[in-house]
Amino acid sequence: MDIKAAFPSMAKGRIVTSMKVRQMDGDLVRWTESFLSERMVEMMIECTTMERHPVEAGVQQGSPVSLILFAIYTSGLIK
């Protein structure tokens, strides 16, 4: 199974639901919702900055917490 594509396409609602099903701490669930909300992406091509767009899915790459959220997101795939 190829799960590489899941990292940039993770749905916030699915992560939050998965955390609630696992009865994770409510503060952690709310923090996760906040962490994944109101994010923007901006691309730069050959020194030209493109217009910013909202990000509806995925987690920030490079953040240590993103790896944990990815593990929660994909944990239901493997028994």
Give per-residue pLDDT as tens, 1-57. Answer: 555 666 667 777 888 888 898 899 999 999 988 888 888 878 888 988 888 888 777
Residue 30 token pair: 């709310």
Residue 29 dihedral angles phi and psi, to the nearest 5°: -65, -45
Q: How large is the average pLDDT for residues 56-65?
A: 76
Q: What is the mean pLDDT of residues 60-65?
A: 76
C-alpha span between 74 and 12 (Å, rounded): 13
